[in-house]
Chains A and B, each alone.
Chain A
């Protein structure tokens, strides 16, 4: 078997679809910052980010004091 075939096989074996894509953390922070800046005041409530697998990608649910404020559909 050639190295290219072995590489392909290795790539297929290391299934990555269940893992978060690279840059995902930064994207969440950027999107959350964009969404919350202006109305969320530090220390005035509990901010929760819930990561939800959607099957094809991921969504982030933003909760403020356990109340859903916004759903971000990322990737």
Chain B
């Protein structure tokens, strides 16, 4: 039975799709069987982030309407064969896929994989409801910006009304240079204020800004590896860049 994790945020543009794609690739690189589901119907981008858009033939609507089986609609990643994607629909037919149908499709894909990661749409309306209904765990993504934190907090509260067992926080696009200078709130403090368990902190990256994928080396790749370790229960270590690990940085961050 796979672990079914929904990646949600409330606010758009904080990096849900990027996180889903990179976390999926990181886990698949370790040999885990991962299926990603794009639940952002109408404004889907997960196939683009994973560079799979040219190979998409069928989508979730074809599965929901019974034209094809869920397994047949999956698109396999070129680099990591263990990583598969159930693409979403480009046109706005969101109402045609009800939450119960979406949960049934998720249950079908649950067999024989280790992780099922659902990329939820922004907002807390029907699309969010559909994505969350099918999940047992949730990752809330936020950036250190106040508006994103506020929306993420509302999303976390809303999640408590669903059958989601554990909710964790990932702070994306952290500017560690600003954190070290005392000009930005550290991810640990954001998690403390939101009363959520911090699963990971991901640094701001120009590479991801351009390409969406973090690659196999570099700061972002290390941050995603730490996040994957925490999700797999192998470690509790939250990523911090080498410059932020010094004794002075530690005390500076402790004082906020």
Decide yes or no: A13 and B185 within 8 Å by CB, A3-B179, A7-B193 being known contacts.
Answer: no
- For the complex, give the distance between the alpha carbons of A23 and B195 in Å: 13
* Cα(A62)–Cα(B38), bound, Å: 46
Are B150 and A6 neighbours in the complex by a CB distance under 8 Å? no
Determine if A1 is an interface residue (Cβ-Cβ < 8 Å): yes
Residues of chain B lying within 8 A (CB to CB) of residue A3? 179, 182-186, 189, 256
Chain B residues lying within 8 Å of A1, measured Cβ to Cβ, are 183
Q: Which residues of A contact B186 (CB under 8 A)?
A: 3
Question: Shortest CB–CB separation between residue B103 and chain A, in angstroms?
Answer: 28
Is the CB of A4 closer than 8 A to any CB of chain B? yes
> Which chain A residues border B150 with CB–CB below 8 Å?
13-14
Residue pair A2, B149 in contact (C-beta under 8 Å): no
Given contacts A2-B183, A3-B179, contact A10 B149 (CB under 8 A): yes
Contact present for B157 and A13 (CB under 8 Å): no
B153 cross-chain contacts in A, Cβ below 8 A: 14
Encode contact with B along A1-33: 1 for CB under 8 Å, 0 otherwise: 111101101110110000100100000000000
Q: Roughly how many angstroms separate A9 CA and B149 CA in the complex, as a whole number?
A: 11
Known contacts A3-B179, A3-B186, A14-B153; is A9 also within 8 Å of B256 by CB? no
Expressed in whole angstroms, the Cα–Cα distance for A6 and B146 within the complex equals 8
Q: Is B190 an interface residue (CB 8 A)?
A: yes
In the complex the two chains form, what is the Cα distance from A11 to B149 in whole Å? 10
Closest chain-B Cβ to A3's Cβ sits at a distance in Å of 5
CA A11 to CA B194, docked complex, whole Å: 9
Contacts of A13 in B (CB 8 A): 146, 149-150
Residues of B within 8 A of A4 (CB): 182, 256
Contact B193 A11 (CB under 8 A): yes
Residue of A nearest to B186 (CB): A3
- The answer to whether A19 and B183 have CB atoms under 8 Å apart is no
* Contact code string B165-200 (vs A, CB < 8 Å = 1, else 0): 000000000000001001111100110011100000
- Whether A10 contacts B256 by the Cβ 8 Å rule is no
Residues of A within 8 Å of B185, CB to CB, are: 3, 6-7, 10
A-B contact list, 15 entries, CB within 8 Å:
A2-B182, A2-B183, A3-B182, A3-B183, A3-B256, A4-B182, A6-B146, A7-B256, A9-B146, A10-B149, A10-B190, A13-B146, A14-B149, A14-B193, A19-B157
Given contacts A3-B256, A10-B149, 10 further A-B contacts (CB under 8 A): A2-B182, A3-B182, A3-B183, A3-B186, A7-B185, A7-B193, A13-B149, A14-B193, A14-B194, A19-B157
